[in-house]
Amino acid sequence: MLRGKKIVLGVTGGIAVYKSVDLVSRLRKQGAEVRVVMSEAATKFVTPLTFQEISGNAVAVSMWNEKHEFRVEHIALAEWADLLLVAPATANIIAKAANGIADNLLSTVLLAAPKPMIFCPAMNTNMLLHPATQENLNKLRKFGYIIMEPGSGPLACGTTGAGRLPEPAEIVEFVRYYLATQEGDLRGKNILVTAAGTREPIDPVRFVGNRSSGKMGYAVAQAAAERGAKVTLISGPSAITPPPNVEVINVETTFEMMEAVLQRFTDTDIVIKAAAVADYRCHEIAKQKIKKTGDDALVLVLDKNPDILKRLGELKTKQVLVGFAAETQNLLENAAQKIKKKNLDMIVANDVTLPGAGFNYDTNVVKFIFPDGKITTFEKMSKLAVANTLLDEIKTLI
């Protein structure tokens, strides 16, 4: 989303300015062209020369510099940009932007720019929480500007609390996601993804489950968010860090996953059911840990769990419903039966016995199978590549 984008980065006077140097570097590595506008106070922390070398462009500081790159610099910069980003945004520049004050080059550029604008506040906690600052931030939101919430932690002033400038990588991700929601090919779509396996308790210590890591479902959620969709990820237990810009709902049992899915199904456009749920649960759950007694075998009575995907197939109206089939034999036959039985729009089938496919791998080997019998076969690729290929196919079904 950043390749070819023209970004004006406003840098104001705060100790977090040093992060902005890294931010410029990261934006350029993503393919963006960056021009930096600094306040006079910002130059006391980092020199304009540093930003000039990192950005590859002259840095603008003063309205009164005789060596302007443009004839009317504040207008030219405002018109050149696809996006204006202020990081760090001090309480001072926030107040100026909220109240139409244009008394230096940066504030004038902001006032002259009818373009998308993102502010990344960074300041002392008390300054951030002051009613005046909060009112100014709300004004900016009403103007349609985007506010990236600051982080919390130790601050340069010696206190701990909200007001930290997010890390440059987080800001880049935030900008990418914002652009995706404006330009991505899945913007405006609500996508629900299920991932990982569910666990059915035997006793307070043990459970019945499967080998699913959640990597495939998490990759689908990541890819959908990067393409501008509003994504809800309903996940069983997993050690994977959830992708950014995704609403995550953690569940444990199949019943919990079904309840979470059904609560959100009506408002969903696309459901991608990548979770490997436990098909059975214990008929009785021991209240205390079951102790070993001699050499006797432990006998468990298992009841069948509800079929979430089949239930969704019965309820669907406008939704595109995609299932996954992880098989060890008769892949095509089993997947084809699953499509008809569960009223799916397509299914992603994979033989988990193949090298590089299935649980816990970063790669997968899949086939897309459709109700009319059409089958598309793919070579081994990363799970993120599988996710994007799947989303490309779903676009044709919408």
Query: Catalytic positions, please?
Result: 157
Please count the other Cβ atoms lying within 10 Å of the Cβ belonging to residue 328: 11
CA 361 to chain centre: 21
The secondary structure of residue 276, as a DSSP letter, is: B
State the Cα–Cα distance between residues 27 and 51, nearest whole angstrom. Answer: 13
Binding-site annotation: residue ranges for CTP: 279, 289, 306-309, 324, 338, 342
Strand spans (E) along 215-277:
230-235, 247-250, 270-273
What's the CA gap between 178 and 156, in Å, rounded?
A: 29
Cβ burial 302-323 (10 Å sphere, 16+ → b, else e): eeebebbbeebbeebeebbbbb
The two three-digit tokens of residue 389, written as one number: 């290929």
- Sign of the C-alpha dihedral, residues 251, 254, 260, 266? positive
- Residue 143 Cα to chain centre, angstroms: 25
Task: Report whether 148 contacts 174 (CB < 8 A).
Answer: yes
Strands 381-382 and 270-273: unpaired
149 burial type by CB count under 10 A (0-12 exposed, 13-18 middle, 19+ buried): exposed
In the 8-state DSSP scheme, what is residue 238? -
Instruction: For the beta carbon of residue 129, count every other beta carbon within 10 angstroms.
Output: 13
* Residue 199 · residue 253 · CB < 8 Å: yes
Burial class (CB in 10 A: 0-12, 13-18, 19+), 135: exposed
- Please enumerate, by residue number, every residue annotated as part of a binding site: 279, 289, 306-309, 324, 338, 342
User: Containing H/E element for 341?
Assistant: helix 331-342
CB-count exposure of residue 142 (10 Å: 0-12, 13-18, 19+):
exposed
